[in-house]
A = this chain, B = another copy of it.
């Protein structure tokens, strides 16, 4: 019985393979690498029942994760976030079986912690001492904090417009933080240069193979929380798209293990903002990769990614699952954010709100059917985005009374 059944790395483009002992980055051909497991052995030794009674975090799936020695696990108790019905919002949209998986309830208040927990643990395992990454804020915050625990030095570069709280998190963690007058692509260029200049490990999205394994656990959890059935539709706010790629990978692996049925795959939906919708454009044009989006701008900062390195994997996942890509306006998503909070009491992040708004649009278009079981990923806590809500409250003096309108 191994802690991990990891086997090797492979390239989804040129099929080259690599050992998992190295400080692996991209394939020699330039493609992201994916992680393979010894599935036959795993299938033999581990069953869904094996999970019962295990800790309620993502490490309950350790056999299907790449960390080989439990001592290298860096953890803040992340994962196994709640999945629950959004009754009133669902009624309101005429999707009676509408669910939310709330990734706000995770360390750092963002699903980025999943990638960081697994990515940093594996980096520690292979001996990485210093890493660098560009970020729209949340990933940098998460990697900084997990790196602190692991004793790995982190250099983080983020746009000046990234949510302000995330720079506080990087600083508290003791990371080396730079802000850039630009977008995440500009941060990426600065990181690429620093990686060369100082021989750092490049932890950029998909430039190391393990972040996706952390994100994959969202898919494992959705399946387990639905008691190894799967929903009909999963909506995912898509920037770099690692979560969507990860969920698709998880579902494929679960099918291979026979833990979920082979004849039903949820339709995966990539949700973007109208101000930055390269995947939607590529999808609508029937392309297999996306062009960089010009003048990208949206209040849903986490999905403000003009060019995703894994665009071909996102588009493939959507296509294979009979899903789609759809965009919503900032105005629409902000309105949805308030609707969801006042109806069901969930204060979601703008990216999550975009996914709810997309569900509404897809139901109106009858792409989502009334009896579909639909899961929206809320990728972070609304409390990280104070600017999404305007407050208009009276300030009373100590001796004042509340006077209601007649």
A391 and B104 form a contact (CB under 8 A): no
A93 at the interface (CB under 8 A from B): no
What's the Cα separation between A147 and B341 when bound, in Å?
Answer: 11
B80 near A84 with CB under 8 A, answer no
Contact present for A347 and B173 (CB under 8 Å): yes
**Residue in A155, A181, A345, A394 whose Cβ sees the most chain B Cβ within 10 Å:** A345
Are the CB atoms of B81 and A102 closer together than 8 Å?
no
For chain A residues 79-107, which have a beta carbon within 8 Å of chain B?
80-84, 88, 102, 104-107
Given contact pairs A148-B342, A148-B344, A402 touches B194 in the complex (Cβ within 8 A): yes
- Output the least CB separation between A380 and chain B (Å): 10
The distance in angstroms between the C-alpha atoms of A157 and B347, with both chains bound, is 20
Asked if B345 and A148 sit within 8 Å, CB to CB, the answer is yes
- Complex interface bits, A139-166 against B, C-beta within 8 A gives 1, otherwise 0: 0000001111110000101001000110
- Contact assessment for B76 and A402 in the assembled complex, using a CB-CB cutoff below 8 Å: no
Decide yes or no whether A393 CB sits under 8 A from chain B: yes
Whole-angstrom distance between the Cβ of A67 and the nearest chain B Cβ:
16
Shortest Cβ distance from A39 into chain B, in angstroms?
A: 26
Tell me whether A320 is interfacial, beta carbon within 8 Å.
no
Chain B residues positioned under 8 Å from A343 (CB to CB): 148-149
User: In the bound complex, how far is the Cα of B348 from the Cα of A107, in angstroms?
Assistant: 10
Dominant secondary structure at the A interface: mixed
B52 touches A341 (CB 8 A): no
A401 with B194: CB separation less than 8 A: yes
Q: Is the CB of B53 within 8 A of A82?
A: no
CB atoms of A171 and B393 under 8 A apart: yes
Q: For the complex, is A1 an interface residue (Cβ under 8 Å from B)?
A: no
Judged by a CB distance under 8 angstroms, whether A108 is at the interface is yes
**Whole-angstrom CA separation of A384 from B182 in the bound complex:** 26
9 smallest A-B Cβ distances: which pairs? A77-B82, A149-B345, A172-B341, A174-B342, A145-B345, A56-B56, A168-B389, A148-B345, A177-B393
New A-B pairs, 20, CB < 8 Å, besides A52-B53, A171-B391, A181-B398: A57-B82, A76-B346, A77-B82, A109-B383, A147-B345, A148-B341, A148-B342, A160-B395, A164-B386, A167-B393, A170-B393, A172-B342, A172-B388, A172-B389, A173-B341, A177-B391, A177-B393, A181-B397, A190-B396, A198-B404
> 5 A-B Cβ contacts within 8 A?
A76-B346, A88-B149, A165-B386, A171-B391, A182-B398
